[in-house]
A and B are shown apart, each in its own frame.
Chain A
Amino acid sequence: MQQAVDRSEKVKKGKVKAVRKRRSKLNKNHYGYYFIAPFFIVFLIFGLYPILYTLYLSFTQYDGFADPTFIGTANYLRVFQDPQFYAALQNTIVMWVMGVIPQFVFAFLLSAVFSYNRIKGKGILRALYYLPRLVTAVSISALFNQFLSYPSGLINQVLMQFGWVKEPINFLSNPLFTQGSVGLIHWWMFYGNTMILVMAGMTAISSSLYEAARIDGANSWHIFWKITMPLLKPITLYVFLNSLIGGLQSFDVQQILTGGQGAPQGKLMTVVMYLYNTAFQYNNYGYSAAIAYYLFAFIALASSVVFISRLRGKGHRA
Chain B
Amino acid sequence: MRASDIAGTQRRAIHSRRIGMYACLILLAVISFMPFYMMIVNATRSTADIVSGFSLLPGGNLAQNFKEMQSRVDVLNAFRNSFIIAASTTVLSCYFSALTAYGFVAYDFRFKNGLFTLLLVTMMIPGQLSIIGFYKMVKGMNMLNSYWPLILPSIATAATVFFIKQYAEGAISRSAIESARIDGAGEFKIFNRIGLPVLSPAIFTMGITGFIASWNNYMMPLILLSDPKKFTLPLIIRMLNADSQDRSVGGMYLAIAVSIVPIMIVFFIFSRYIIDGVNAGGDKG
Contact = CB atoms under 8 A, between A and B. Distances in A.
Interface of A: 26, 28-36, 38-40, 42-43, 46-47, 49-57, 62, 64, 106, 110, 113, 117, 119, 123-132, 134-147, 152, 154, 157-158, 161, 188, 192-193, 196-197, 200-201, 234-235, 237-239, 245, 249, 251-252, 255-256, 259-260, 272, 275, 279-280, 285, 288-289, 292-293, 295-296, 299
Dominant secondary structure at the A interface: helix
Nearest to B30: A128
Interface string B90-126: 0000001101101110111100100100010010011
Given A137-B216, A137-B218, A49 B137 contact: yes
B76 interface: no
B234 interface: yes
Nearest to A54: B133
Chain B contact residues (Cβ within 8 angstroms of A): what range? 35 or more
Nearest to B178: A26
Contact of B133 (A49, A147, A295): A49
Nearest to A28: B187
A192 B32 CA distance: 9
Given A30-B109, A36-B104, A234-B285, A142 B126 contact: no
B10 to A, nearest CB: 14
Interface stretch (B1-9, B48-56, B61-69, B198-206): B48-56
A186 to B, nearest CB: 14
Interface centre among A26, A142, A288, A296 (most CB of B within 10 A): A142
29 contacts: A28-B181, A32-B104, A32-B107, A34-B103, A39-B100, A39-B155, A42-B156, A53-B137, A54-B131, A54-B132, A57-B132, A110-B25, A117-B18, A123-B271, A126-B275, A130-B275, A131-B33, A135-B264, A138-B216, A138-B238, A139-B234, A142-B241, A146-B249, A147-B38, A196-B279, A252-B218, A256-B241, A295-B128, A296-B126
Contact of A119 (B25, B35, B109): B25
B253 A54 contact: no
Nearest to A136: B216
B153 interface: yes
A83 B260 CA distance: 38
A36 B111 CA distance: 12
Contacts of A144: 35
Contacts of A147: 35, 38
A33 B275 CA distance: 33
Given A26-B178, A193-B278, A43 B53 contact: no
A201 B282 CA distance: 8
A275 B33 CA distance: 34
A279 B115 contact: no
A142 B240 contact: yes
Contacts of B149: 46
Contact of B132 (A29, A110, A285): A285
B242 A259 contact: yes
Contacts of A110: 25, 28
A55 B125 CA distance: 14
Dominant secondary structure at the B interface: helix
Given A30-B109, A157-B53, A238 B282 contact: yes
B234 A138 contact: yes
A63 to B, nearest CB: 12
B267 interface: yes
B108 A29 contact: yes
Interface string B12-41: 000000100110011011011101101100
A201 B106 CA distance: 30
Contacts of A289: 132-133
A52 B149 CA distance: 17
A54 B136 CA distance: 9
Contacts of A42: 96, 152-153, 155-156
A256 B236 CA distance: 12
Contact of A134 (B21, B96, B274): B274
A141 B252 CA distance: 12
Given A138-B218, A161-B54, A289-B132, A196 B282 contact: yes
B156 A43 contact: yes
A17 B158 CA distance: 40
Interface in B154-210: 155-156, 161, 178, 181-182, 187, 191
B276 to A, nearest CB: 10
Contacts of B32: 128-129, 131-132, 188, 192
Nearest to B36: A131
A144 B42 CA distance: 13
B25 to A, nearest CB: 6
Please list the 6 inter-chain residue pairs (A to B) with the smallest Cβ-Cβ separation, ordered nearest first. A35-B103, A238-B285, A32-B107, A53-B133, A50-B133, A54-B133
